[in-house]
Structure 1
């Protein structure tokens, strides 16, 4: 029977994916529950299960005394010496109190407790496993679609892809394999509730980490991500090694790396730009594929004025302002874009500087003498005039 018990523990461990120690602890709790249903059960009893042999017994701690007054908590010195001659008064002895008929009836009564504890252990194990995968990518198979929510089978658990986290341009079919970003793992009475997303910017970041070894190794750093899910995205990358081209590493040979990500996101367009510590250069790069003539920045207000060629204005702004909007999200700067002709018109419309009137005219208008004349100066001027006449 003990061998059968060990085999059952082994089977449960493999079937439920729960460690043997957790099952043995649960079984000990079940044995105590079953024992306490017995008449005259000792309330202080504990169960002990030998993990090697499968033997189990119920032990009640009792204090060694000269005369027993309470049989539930005390044992006589003579009885203790039968167990071990080294016991003395005051020692605590674990006495085997396993009932003779302890078996089928008691085990049946405790069966539900065992099932409940195993379920709790399984739920906790699943929660611990997936809570460690928050902010990471998981791959699953779409199991069903109910009330606009997509349920993804992850093997041991089920994830929910709510409507708010779905890409508007995507369609989801039962049996389809998809990659999702783990947003949150909640612990509920029914087990772990896993919330996943297809629109989160982190999904794009993790996909590049999977496809680009340089990002995973830390040689290339992904500085920022801006997404309009299903339509277009921009990422800014920076290389810590001067010999490694950050943009080229992300694009891959013949564009293979970025194309795999585009395919996974069902043809979402991705712009890869080079990050720069100079805000003006960074903003110019972020407006790619448009070329930029000049960028002026106000670091205090985090605003910038960008001038582009006339024929590039629509490209810089993008359809419905998409390119400019993504560039602003990527750089975290407010961007004002103007064409060269618009910038020239604004420069010409600037008010001209008003001419400063002559000093004499200004002073006469104000009725203030230009120089205060002294009597000596007046006499010198009169003498000079007489000499000029002669």
Structure 2
């Protein structure tokens, strides 16, 4: 069922279309993060008003809560959350490793991780209970979830990391991918491969070559946007992209800022996800045509201007900066909701504009103009 079609190129920037069981997706695309079966701070109708094509769920969190028995009972995540559009689920591998570094927080347990050849044993950050993820189980859970695009269990090392540790992660990720592919039963759900290698050119290329040999439905670039400088992320992308077949989608995981997205589209990336628009919204940071705005700042107190005069979202068409600032300062939940609606629409509009510029053979000019205006508040 899953298929990718490359429609056009403008330099290395690509215009494409993905076909899934729950609908078509125009690329380049940004996927709002719905970690636990919801995009934080918005209802389904509010989310749909921002015009997302696909959202992302998290296998680790959904496995722990509500649990696979609940998801199976409800017939998968689409029905459970009443979502008709496509869903991508990551494997939860990143969360297994990243949450193990968290210090114990109030009401939560410190996670622990034991990595073996068979899989990864980890302690839940929720209640301290032990669990064991294997590549086969992670595929099985995602097939129960019913996501349109599944990610395999991988080893995602932190940054910085030694060449030896990064190489071990690459090799184990490949072996686990082979097992994931064999375990897959529902062919209508796409299974991507994940390319690792930290910031080592030789390992990134080795990982890309071995992953492509397995002929996956698409290819994800993992282990970036984990603290390394942006230039290193772009460099690793440039190493990997030429190895990936042109007729397969390319997904840069966990990215990122508007600048990151535009730079990565220029390097041939098709898919993105990041918590940035929603998390920043809840903290009062809004994305606009002319850069980021701290809506809680005193200078907005008497502003009757919209957050972004060029935005068509519900927030910008109905409310002023002064009002939204008041909501945040009064700690009203509505402030977070309105800010989230705006930030999500900013990101989906950005992708719409990128696709339009590629279609019209003017991506380079669009990039220059966008970055000039977006960075104007910094000058």
TM-score bracket for the superposition, by shorter chain length: under 0.3
- Is the radius of gyration larger for structure 1 or structure 2? 1
Give the TM-score normalised by structure 1: 0.24
Q: Counting strand residues as a fraction of each chain, which structure ranks higher?
A: 1
More RCO (CA 8 Å, sep 6+): 2
